[in-house]
């Protein structure tokens, strides 16, 4: 059975050692992945000097290349982000923009390096914004080559116009905890499938229907 690793990126706006609800939920996801036999790392992006940009390396001390190296050796990426104004954080957007560079990177057979990697999304906020934040992050990750498993998300928010954070209100085993388990179960399964049987190279006829035509 393929060995699977996970990388969780905490996209809070606050550098360490400030407490972070996204950190708490990311750790819960990694704990559930560990139950599925998946080892993982957790990186708080804002602690590293990641630069705005859309390349794999913006140079001059850019913190992204080290994070990217961890990503390339993982089969599961977890994006953990707080919600601000009902939307993913600017740090999360910065990460997604850096992943845009992967559209220019391919293996020897023409597949993006992200192909076959599974992405999960974990979102926390005081109140509202989780579904939209999940939608934004999933759309961007799918666009740059990741696959999201069924039920591949988890989130917590409080009642409308309230102000309590997950790190004070959580954990929530009957609601968020349940979706976190499903995220881990399905993402680990899908990551193993794709590690063992990768997407075919573009231009592949597939399904035994004969030689390839135009490269995709």
The reply on whether position 136 binds its own copies by CB under 8 A is yes
Phi, psi of 79 (to 5 degrees): -95, 115
Provide the CA 210 distance to its chain's centre, in angstroms: 36
Q: Which residues contact 108 (CB under 8 A, 6 or more apart)?
A: none
- Least Å from the CB of residue 10 to its own copies: 13
Whether 82 and 11 have beta carbons less than 8 Å apart is answered as: yes
What's the half-sphere exposure (Cβ side, CA atoms, 13 Å) at 46?
A: 20
**Binder of its own copies out of 53, 63, 106, 195 (CB under 8 A):** 53
**Binder of its own copies out of 63, 93, 105, 106 (CB under 8 A):** 93
> With respect to its own copies, which residue has the nearer C-beta, 7 or 190?
190
Strand partners, 118: 76, 147
Residue 192: other Cβ atoms inside 10 A: 19
The reply on whether position 101 binds its own copies by CB under 8 A is no
Buried b (16+ CB within 10 A) or exposed e, 65-83: eebbeebeebbbbbbbbbb
**Binder of its own copies out of 127, 167, 171, 195 (CB under 8 A):** 127
The reply on whether position 87 binds its own copies by CB under 8 A is yes
**Binder of its own copies out of 30, 76, 138, 165 (CB under 8 A):** 138
Piece of 22-30, 61-69, 70-78, 121-129 that binds its own copies (CB under 8 A): 121-129
Provide the CA 5 distance to its chain's centre, in angstroms: 12
The reply on whether position 40 binds its own copies by CB under 8 A is no
Residue 185, burial from CB neighbour count under 10 angstroms (0-12, 13-18, 19+): middle
- Least Å from the CB of residue 114 to its own copies: 7
Query: For its own copies, what does the binding mask look like between residues 189 and 208, x meaning CB under 8 A?
Result: xx--xx--x-xx-x-xxxxx
Whether 115 and 145 have beta carbons less than 8 Å apart is answered as: yes
**Binder of its own copies out of 29, 67, 74, 144 (CB under 8 A):** 144
Query: For its own copies, what does the binding mask look like between residues 151 and 190, x meaning CB under 8 A?
Result: xxx-xxxxxxxx---------xx-xxxxx-xx--xx-xxx
Piece of 20-28, 59-67, 68-76, 123-131 that binds its own copies (CB under 8 A): 123-131
- Least Å from the CB of residue 20 to its own copies: 13
């Amino acid at each position: 059975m393929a060995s699977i690793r996970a990388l969780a990126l905490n996209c809070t706006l606050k550098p360490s050692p400030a407490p972070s609800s996204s950190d708490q939920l990311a750790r819960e996801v990694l704990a559930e992945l560990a139950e599925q036999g998946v080892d993982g790392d957790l990186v708080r992006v804002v602690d590293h000097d990641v630069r705005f940009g859309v390349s794999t390396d913006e140079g001059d001390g850019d913190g992204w290349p080290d994070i990217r190296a961890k990503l390339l050796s993982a089969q599961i990426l977890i994006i953990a982000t707080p919600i601000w104004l009902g939307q993913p954080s600017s740090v999360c957007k910065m990460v997604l923009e850096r992943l845009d560079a992967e559209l220019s990177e391919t293996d020897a057979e023409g597949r993006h390096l992200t192909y076959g990697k599974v992405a999960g999304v974990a979102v926390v906020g005081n109140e509202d914004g989780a579904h939209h934040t999940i939608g934004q992050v999933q759309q961007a990750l799918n666009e740059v080559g990741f696959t999201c498993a069924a039920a591949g998300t988890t989130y917590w928010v409080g009642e409308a116009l309230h102000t309590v954070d997950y790190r004070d209100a959580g954990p929530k085993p009957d609601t968020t905890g349940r979706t976190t388990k499903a995220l881990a179960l399905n993402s680990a399964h899908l990551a193993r499938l794709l590690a063992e049987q990768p997407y075919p190279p573009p231009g592949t006829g597939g399904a035994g229907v004969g030689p390839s035509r135009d490269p995709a």
